[in-house]
Amino acid sequence: MSSPSISPATYHLGQYQEAITAEINDLNAKNFTAGFWQKEATLWTDSAEGQESIRSFMGWTRVAETMQQAVPEIEAFVKEVKEAGFEHVVVMGMGGSTMAPIVFEKSFERANGGLPISVLDTTDPGTVQQIEQSVPLDKTLFIVASKSGTTAEPLAFGDYFYAKLKEIKGDKAGENFVAITDPGSKFVTNATNEGYRKIFLNFAEVGGRFSALTYFGLVPAALYGINIAELLDRAVTMMRACGSEGDVQDNPGLQLGATMGVLSKQGRDKLTLVVPDKLHDLGLWLEQLLAESTGKEGKGVLPVAGEPLGTPKVYGHDRLFVYVGYEDTPDTENRNKLKALQEAGHPVVIILMKEPLDLGAEFFRWEVGTAVAGAVLRINPFDQPNVQESKTATDRVMKVVQEQGHLPAGPAAAAEADGVSYFTDAKGDGAVGTLKAFFAQSKAGDFVNLQAYLTESDAISAELQEFRKLVQQNLHLATTSGYGPRFLHSTGQYHKGGPNTGLFVQFTHQSPVELPLPGRSYSFGTFENAQAQGDLETLQQYKRRTLHIDLGGNAEQTLPKVVAALKEALAK
Ligand SMILES: O=P(O)(O)OC[C@H]1O[C@H](O)[C@H](O)[C@@H](O)[C@@H]1O
């Protein structure tokens, strides 16, 4: 095993170098690094209330060291699980409670003896059913992961699969369940009563999106066969480089954060992440960290992940490109394009790791960088004030469902074609005219966000990519895309709290799969569509430009028709 070292980061900042250096000098002049480790909340805000909240969520800064002590406990648990004959793990949760497991599963090869992992973080009935049908239920360990223990989705997933296991194992169902949650939550009591095999108590002072290196990330990682001791050692190496043990000359987190903060203030507020295929899902984790931490008070760094990388002519002046890849993977096409972008005057940062275990260090670099960007933007990076609003709106919708047995009726469609209904204020003729009118509202510096409350599949993802490509090539706008309700717990904060520069395209469907939820009067599908409706109302309340496209009962068949209509609408 190579000894831990920090992956090199190269900054090509061109005309922005001067302003960023000035910011770094300012931060150093006020002893930012020392203040950061002492949780000096004045670095972020002048409000006393804000300062108290900041201090209470800075437990993540030293949690990697704490977790080094917990490695034997986690490894003993993994041994117990394997000896008990489990063959598969399903991690169920939203946002920060599942993003790191997704990255681990996709970025590492499963080690010999490691258990395969699936992650369930959607209420879409088709996806829930796919997971149910793809695992041996009686030999599957279900991890219900929720910091607060109150999030509606993980509780629903837990109840759903617990009922299934009860049918198979009766009173022994709890043997297949594990909880990861904060101490004192009601969920702890419920999990205890239901006989869960184990309850891992996490740390109240570590927020969800900063919890990759706690039980939330590490328990699934260890079950999958990842060497978590080494992962943590590398994180601790990065902690030291960022000044955890005293003064450092160049703090890598501070450098990244100052770059993101200054560029955001100068209008280059769209951090475009470029990765090799093997790191495809790193973007999901980073999206939540950056968008939820910085997207508030009309400011923010917008993470753009999974967008096809283009030539300089398709971009405006609103990007910072960051490449995270591997030293020994040439990834020639991306690297050449980045070179061209750099030469055309776009700021580009390149981080090269040796192997996936270096992600331990990178998680920490980005966490510090995000906190520093928050200080430069003068916002509290540890709260998510606008996420709750959309949950409250969904609760209102669900109340109607419970009273009337169905979702509340919405406005009349602006257009209907090919079994697809379009809802928006923009006025145009038919599907093509409506799409044209909707996008005619865009201007330079805007972004287009696709929200897919659909069953995730390669075919749907490919169509969404095509949609993004058309927008990028014809309108030269940044595009982001996420499956709902996952993104609600991630980029959803930025959509409502960040600058009003987004055009939101929401896709819903009427799932042919009907999955009732135990103990509730509604099904997964109704819940999913209520979440979409609740968020749409919240976006509209914030005067965001919205287009809701209902794809009907066969989204794989109708989405290509929408893409074809878009092509026509955007043609010159
Ligand atoms: O882990 P939980 O408490 O269930 O929370 C899951 C997610 O819920 C919310 O939507 C927050 O905005 C996220 O930051 C959080 O990660």
Atom of ligand 1 nearest to the CA of 154: 4
> According to the model, what pLDDT value does residue 279 have?
97
Hey, which of 97, 122, 143, 219 would you mutate to test ligand 1's pocket, going by the most ligand atoms within 8 Å of its Cβ?
Answer: 97
Question: Which residues form ligand 1's pocket by a CB distance below 6 Å?
Answer: 93-97, 146-148, 151, 154, 208-209, 292, 384, 387, 489
* Average pLDDT for 107-119: 96
Separation CA 274–CA 327 (nearest Å): 14
Answer yes or no: is pLDDT of 354 > 60: yes
> According to the model, what pLDDT value does residue 572 have?
65
CA of 489 to the centre of ligand 1 (A): 6
Cβ atoms of 351 and 323 closer than 8 Å: yes
Find how far residue 203's CA is from the centre of its chain.
Answer: 20
CA of 346 to the centre of ligand 1 (A): 34
Q: pLDDT tens across 257-270, in order?
A: 999 999 999 999 99
DSSP character string of 195-250: T-SEEEE--TTS-GGG-TTSHHHHHHHHHHT--HHHHHHHHHHHHHHTTTTS--SS
CA of 558 to the centre of ligand 1 (A): 32
> According to the model, what pLDDT value does residue 2 have?
44
Report residue 29 as tokens.
């002049």
Among protein residues, the one whose CA lies closest to atom 9 of ligand 1: 489
Q: pLDDT tens across 43-72, in order?
A: 999 999 999 999 999 999 999 999 999 999
Strand order in the sheet with 319-326: 9-12, 348-353, 319-326, 270-274, 302-304
Atom of ligand 1 nearest to the CA of 145: 1
Mapped onto helix, strand or coil, the DSSP state of residue 302 is strand
- The CB density around residue 193, as the number of other CB atoms within 10 Å, is 9
The average confidence (pLDDT) of the chain is: 96
Among protein residues, the one whose CA lies closest to atom 8 of ligand 1: 489
Atom of ligand 1 nearest to the CA of 488: 10
Give CATH for domain 387-571: 3.40.50.10490
Would you give the DSSP letter of residue 141? E
CA of 460 to the centre of ligand 1 (A): 26
> According to the model, what pLDDT value does residue 284 have?
97
> According to the model, what pLDDT value does residue 185 have?
87
Q: Selecting from 3.40.50.2300, 3.40.50.10490, 3.30.450.70, 2.60.40.10, what CATH number does the domain 70-226 have? A: 3.40.50.10490
Enter the pTM of the model: 0.97
CA of 289 to the centre of ligand 1 (A): 12
Rg (CA), the chain: 23
Which residue type sits at 484?
G
Mapped onto helix, strand or coil, the DSSP state of residue 279 is helix
Answer yes or no: is pLDDT of 1 > 80: no
Q: pLDDT tens across 169-193, in order?
A: 999 999 999 999 999 989 999 999 9
Closest CA relative to residue 365, chosen from 204, 240, 226: 240
Report residue 44 as tokens.
């972020």
Answer yes or no: is pLDDT of 3 > 90: no
Among protein residues, the one whose CA lies closest to atom 12 of ligand 1: 489
Q: pLDDT tens across 141-150, in order?
A: 999 999 999 9
Which residue type sits at 271?
L
For the chain, residues classed under CATH 3.40.50.10490 are 9-63+233-377, 70-226, 387-571
Cβ atoms of 364 and 23 closer than 8 Å: no
Atom of ligand 1 nearest to the CA of 97: 1
Beta-carbon contacts of 329 under 8 Å, excluding residues fewer than 6 positions away, are 276, 278
* Average pLDDT for 68-93: 98
Report helix angle 125-134 to 152-169, nearest 10: 40
CA of 179 to the centre of ligand 1 (A): 15
**Locate tokens 């996936």: which residue?**
356
Atom of ligand 1 nearest to the CA of 94: 6
Hey, which of 144, 150, 489, 496 would you mutate to test ligand 1's pocket, going by the most ligand atoms within 8 Å of its Cβ?
Answer: 489
Indicate if ipTM > 0.90: yes
Report the length, in residues, of the chain. 572
Closest CA relative to residue 559, chosen from 358, 455, 420: 420
Hey, which of 94, 186, 187, 219 would you mutate to test ligand 1's pocket, going by the most ligand atoms within 8 Å of its Cβ?
Answer: 94
> Phi first, then psi: what are they for 110, rounded to 5°?
-70, 130
Q: pLDDT tens across 406-444, in order?
A: 899 889 999 999 999 999 999 999 999 999 999 999 999
- The CB density around residue 76, as the number of other CB atoms within 10 Å, is 10
> According to the model, what pLDDT value does residue 4 have?
60
Would you give the DSSP letter of residue 29? H
Beta-carbon contacts of 347 under 8 Å, excluding residues fewer than 6 positions away, are 11, 12, 13, 14, 16, 259, 263, 268, 319, 320, 321
* 9-63+233-377, CATH topology level: Rossmann fold (3.40.50)
Among protein residues, the one whose CA lies closest to atom 4 of ligand 1: 146
Separation CA 546–CA 540 (nearest Å): 7
Answer yes or no: is pLDDT of 405 > 90: no
Q: pLDDT tens across 472-481, in order?
A: 999 999 999 9
CA of 151 to the centre of ligand 1 (A): 7
> According to the model, what pLDDT value does residue 214 have?
98
Q: What percent of the chain has pLDDT over 70?
A: 99
How far apart are the two ends of the chain, measured CA to CA in Å? Answer: 56
pLDDT band of residue 86 (cuts 50, 70, 90) is: very high
Strand order in the sheet with 198-201: 117-120, 88-92, 140-145, 177-181, 198-201
Atom of ligand 1 nearest to the CA of 93: 4
